Amino acid sequence: MAAAPLAAQQVVTSSGPARVAVTIYRAPDRGAADAINPAWLGGYALISEEREVAIPAGDATIRFEGVAAGMLAETALVEGLGAGVSEKNLDAELLSPRNLYARAFGRPVTLRRTDAKGHTREEPAIIRSAPDGAAIVQTKAGFEIANCGGLKDAIAYEGLPEGLNARPTLSIATHAASAQKARVRLTYLAWGFDWQAHYVVKLAPGAQAAEMTAWVTLANGDTTGFAQAQAAVVGGKPKFEESREEPEEAQDLVLHCRLSPVPPPLNEAAPVFAPPAPVAMMADIMVTGSKRMMAPPVVVKEEVLGDLRLYRVPMPTNVTAHSQKQVALMAARRVKLGLIHRADVDVGAEDGESQQARIRLRMANRKADGLGLALPAGGVAVVQQVGAAALPVGEGAMEDKAVGETANVEIGTSPQVRLESRTRRINDRVEMITATARNANRWPVHFESQQLLPDGARVISASAKLGRQDGHPLWAVTIPAGGKVSLSYRLQLPR
């Protein structure tokens, strides 16, 4: 049976979902210490929508309006229709300044021209070029280039060109034996999302414990927002293979002035532009939005997702277009930690140099120490309460940490704690290494120093007991307030 002609087919439009869930995956190439770039979000989201649809008998086209503009159309899955789905396609000709310009090729528009004195006038014109590069228009004076000759030009359109949709739309073709109502589930992946965890650690006096709070920032760079969505984020790094060409950058329509003469197009019947492909659609419509942040009344719940972790917001939240918002990942809780000052001895490096110690925050991710939950990668800000003020101590980043793992977060350097090492040759195979650590603070500090030995070298005697870390000897000691400690050891070099 042949399909009905397009003009005879019924069109059913679903204006929006009854329920929607948005699960956001981090940008795979963004480091834990790197902030979200609102102008270029490299993550993606799995979006699941439930819609009430009235399916007519016979051939019909069902249009799902309000889907994400960054939808990967090849991932779209429609369930619950009852009637067979014979075709699906993403309508890519969306309403945007670039598409308006491109679709108006050869058609009359209004050119609004402003001179250097601010005087504005309007005149009819016809677009004669593509939306990239110089804008060639034809006026009563002949062929001109917009934004040249000291004029600022803007283009006003008489109406919406046929075929453009004001909202991102997915359309599918159906054929049903009889009319029916269905609750349809539409699931797809969309580009242009991201999320980031951030931890705030408020040190208690003595820096042996702290109050720790964690937040999740949800970022939506799409033109479509999702109201009252069931939001969630996924921690870890799932494998995601990119099979499409990404847009080079998020662009709007920009009219350039070329000083060299540009001849008018010779063949007016053939457009000089190509319609944008669906994969480039996000670049056409993405603009920089304002940052919006809201503290929620609830805390994100952790769930297991294979080797990954799912953090679900237990109450509906708005994932607004072109925006960021924060929700609580972990309410303030008291945790045990260690504040370590660290400076390593690189045997064989320049002798006698004094180096500042690096400050490292160490936390064991276990219930006994106040944690015991999967911690997603993110930034860590450390503050110290001094009177009524919380003063910043340092800032670093933490990779994904499973339960039972230890997090070591470097948050800065300390000019008050320094290490100096000297080497004395005893014979052709034995050296004496002396390392001295000084603490100028008015309180004691815990200090660690890894002894980075040459390949094949070994310590044959030492003035203090040494541990082991990453295959190298480790010196761990407490330096008293305003004091110093020293380590000496004999090093046997390889033959």
| pLDDT score recorded for residue 170 | 86
pLDDT tens by residue, 42-69? 899 999 999 999 988 888 888 899 999 8
Q: Are 425 and 433 in contact (CB under 8 A)?
A: no
**What backbone phi and psi angles, to 5 degrees, belong to 281?**
-60, -40
Residue 260 in tokens: 């060299």
Q: Are 280 and 192 in contact (CB under 8 A)?
A: no
Mapped onto helix, strand or coil, the DSSP state of residue 271 is: coil
Which whole number is the average pLDDT over 105-132?
A: 82
* Integer Cα distance of 474 and 360 in angstroms: 15
Nearest Cα residue to 449 out of 338, 346, 361: 346
Give the pLDDT band of residue 255 (cuts 50, 70, 90).
low
Which H or E run includes 137?
strand 136-139
**What backbone phi and psi angles, to 5 degrees, belong to 8?**
-85, -15
* Integer Cα distance of 250 and 307 in angstroms: 34
Interacting residues of 273 by C-beta distance below 8 A, sequence separation 6+: 102, 105, 129, 130, 131, 132
Which whole number is the average pLDDT over 321-347?
A: 90
| pLDDT score recorded for residue 275 | 28
| pLDDT score recorded for residue 244 | 47
Q: Left (φ > 0), alpha (ψ -120 to 50) or beta: where does 272 sit?
A: alpha
Give the pLDDT band of residue 267 (cuts 50, 70, 90).
very low
Residue 2 or residue 12, greater confidence: 12
Exposed/middle/buried for residue 467 (C-beta within 10 Å: 0-12, 13-18, 19+): exposed
Q: Are 210 and 118 in contact (CB under 8 A)?
A: no
CA distances from 282 to 42, 98, 131, 304, 321 (A): 12, 12, 16, 32, 13
**What backbone phi and psi angles, to 5 degrees, belong to 319?**
-100, 85
* Integer Cα distance of 411 and 388 in angstroms: 23
Exposed/middle/buried for residue 1 (C-beta within 10 Å: 0-12, 13-18, 19+): exposed
Q: Are 435 and 355 in contact (CB under 8 A)?
A: no
* Integer Cα distance of 113 and 123 in angstroms: 8
The chain-wide mean pLDDT, for the chain, equals 80
Residue 78 in tokens: 């429609």
pLDDT tens by residue, 285-294? 222 223 333 4
* Integer Cα distance of 279 and 168 in angstroms: 13
pTM: 0.69
pLDDT tens by residue, 381-400? 999 877 777 788 889 999 88
| pLDDT score recorded for residue 242 | 54
pLDDT tens by residue, 223-253? 899 999 999 998 877 765 655 444 443 345 5
DSSP result, 292-319 = -----SSBPEEEEETTEEEEE-SS-EEE
Residue 390 or residue 470, greater confidence: 470
Looking only at the bridges linking them, the beta strands covering 136-139 and 120-127 are antiparallel
| pLDDT score recorded for residue 350 | 67
Which whole number is the average pLDDT over 345-353?
A: 78
Residue with tokens 């532009």, as numbered in its chain = 273
Q: Are 469 and 452 in contact (CB under 8 A)?
A: no
| pLDDT score recorded for residue 299 | 63
| pLDDT score recorded for residue 294 | 40
**What backbone phi and psi angles, to 5 degrees, belong to 291?**
-80, 130
| pLDDT score recorded for residue 290 | 32
| pLDDT score recorded for residue 93 | 57
| C-alpha atoms less than 13 angstroms from C-alpha of 468 in its C-beta half-sphere | 3
* Integer Cα distance of 449 and 472 in angstroms: 10
Residue 356 has pLDDT above 50, yes or no: yes
Mapped onto helix, strand or coil, the DSSP state of residue 356 is: strand
- For residue 134, what are the β-bridge partners? 256
The domains of the chain are located at 93-163+251-285, 339-359+411-492
| pLDDT score recorded for residue 109 | 84
Pick the CATH number of 339-359+411-492 from 3.40.50.1970, 2.60.40.290, 1.10.3720.10, 1.10.10.60: 2.60.40.290
| pLDDT score recorded for residue 97 | 67
